[in-house]
Amino acid sequence: MKKIAVLTSGGDAPGMNAAVRAVVRKAIYDGVEVIGVNRGYAGVIDGDFVKLDKSSVSDIIQRGGTFLRSARCDEFRTKEGRQKAAEQLRKEGVEGLIVIGGDGSFTGAMLLNEETGIRTIGVPATIDNDIACTDDAIGYDTAMNTIIDAISKIRDTASSHERAFVIEAMGRHAGFLTLAAGLAGGAESILVPEMKFDMDKVCENIQAGYEEGKIHSIILVAEGVEMDGQEFTTNRDVNESNAFLIGKEINERTGFETRVSILGHIQRGGSPTGRDRLLASRLGAAAVNAVLSGETNKMVGLIHNKVEVAEIRDAIEGNKEFDEELYELANILSI
């Protein structure tokens, strides 16, 4: 194999740059040329390619975001779009494509391979950490630390004013990030999409804490928290998020002054942690190994701290199990 391409796609995650750097440097080490694709699949269709050499990836290991940029591309969801992409890659002489992104990006990579024969290898990068066949995805650790930092700062103001704070973390469908950050950040309650919660219990916790002298309370809520079966006394205003509704309800039921903080996109930004840089470096290099050894339609991941290669379909269709024991532990430790 003489030439491969690399792209970043879907939601950006801190550590994507470190992964691109690892792909480029490992490929050059192995005597293979690397083309960077700007703007994810949109850039493949447009032939927006840039030759990358070892100095193109200097000074990026510490940078958040992705210098190749990312994009959502609807045209790539069509067969015609993927054919166009394959033609562009063939024209450029690219024999293998490394896709750094989440499960949507992996689905695109799988279809591209099945329909056109272009060799594809996925590298998991998403702050949600919801991809099966890997314990960790690139960006998750940095986002977790960003949330923990935010919790600590909010706790300062919560204590000063004796308030309850509902903090909304990213996670429309998965609560891995919220659970990990909530546990490590010492949140009093953690509400996620995977587990039904009991509003009475959340309020009892706040009240019990207050009676025992706790002067603040942190309730960490994932965007897509499971709200089915909840009977709320307050009504949802138009377009009001779950976090605001929960905040209002806590105030109504406990009388505790409540504030809501939506962390939003700061969770995606920032310099990647050492752990994310390490993961990105290992997986980026492993993706090059995989493609050069003839693998295709695969994903590289980390299982029990060992690099493993899995079928990309298993990563897409597999369900990453929510750690109920960890959730239970978080509840126990927040008494």
Binding residues for substrate are 126-128, 163, 170-172, 223, 259, 265-268
Residue closer to ligand ATP (CB basis): 139 or 247: 139
Q: Does the annotation count 276 as an active-site position?
A: no
Residue 128 binds to ligand ATP (criterion: CB under 6 A): yes
C-alpha 279/C-alpha 305 separation (Å) is 9
Residue 77 binds to ligand ATP (criterion: CB under 6 A): yes
Tokens of 296: 């295709």
Q: Tell the smallest beta-carbon distance from residue 122 to ligand ATP (Å).
A: 9
Q: Which of 41, 140, 197, 256 binds ligand ATP (CB under 6 A)?
A: 41
Q: Which of 99, 111, 123 is nearest to 41 (CA)?
A: 99
Residue closer to ligand ATP (CB basis): 115 or 237: 115
* CB 141, CB 194: distance < 8 Å: no
Residue in 128, 136, 141, 276 annotated catalytic: 128
Cβ atoms within 10 Å of 65's Cβ, excluding its own:
18
Q: How many helices (H) and strands (E) does the chain have?
A: 11, 11
C-alpha 111/C-alpha 266 separation (Å) is 32
Residue 182 binds to ligand ATP (criterion: CB under 6 A): no
Residue closer to ligand ATP (CB basis): 125 or 220: 125
Identity (one letter) of the amino acid at 66?
T
Binding-site residue positions for ADP: 21-25, 155, 186-188, 214-216
Binding-site residue positions: 11, 21-25, 72-73, 102-105, 126-128, 155, 163, 170-172, 186-188, 214-216, 223, 259, 265-268
In the bound state, the residue with its beta carbon closest to ligand ATP is 104
Residue closer to ligand ATP (CB basis): 11 or 182: 11
C-alpha 199/C-alpha 251 separation (Å) is 12
264 CB-contact burial (10 Å; exposed 0-12 / middle 13-18 / buried 19+): exposed
Q: Give, in degrees to the nearest 5, the angle at Cα 200 between 195 and 205.
A: 90
C-alpha 35/C-alpha 315 separation (Å) is 26
Residue 102 binds to ligand ATP (criterion: CB under 6 A): yes
Q: Tell the smallest beta-carbon distance from residue 171 to ligand ATP (Å).
A: 11
Angle between helix 79-92 and helix 103-116 axes, rounded to 10 deg: 70
Binding-site residue positions for ATP: 11, 72-73, 102-105
Q: Which of 15, 43, 65, 101 binds ligand ATP (CB under 6 A)?
A: 101
Strand, helix or coil at 305?
coil
Q: Which of 103, 136, 188, 249 binds ligand ATP (CB under 6 A)?
A: 103
Binding residues with ligand ATP: total (CB under 6 A) = 18
* CB 99, CB 109: distance < 8 Å: yes
Residues 6 to 25 in contact with ligand ATP, rule: CB under 6 A: 9-11
C-alpha 18/C-alpha 273 separation (Å) is 11
Catalytic positions: 128
Binding interface with ligand ATP (CB under 6 A): 9-11, 41, 72-73, 76-77, 101-105, 107-108, 111, 126, 128
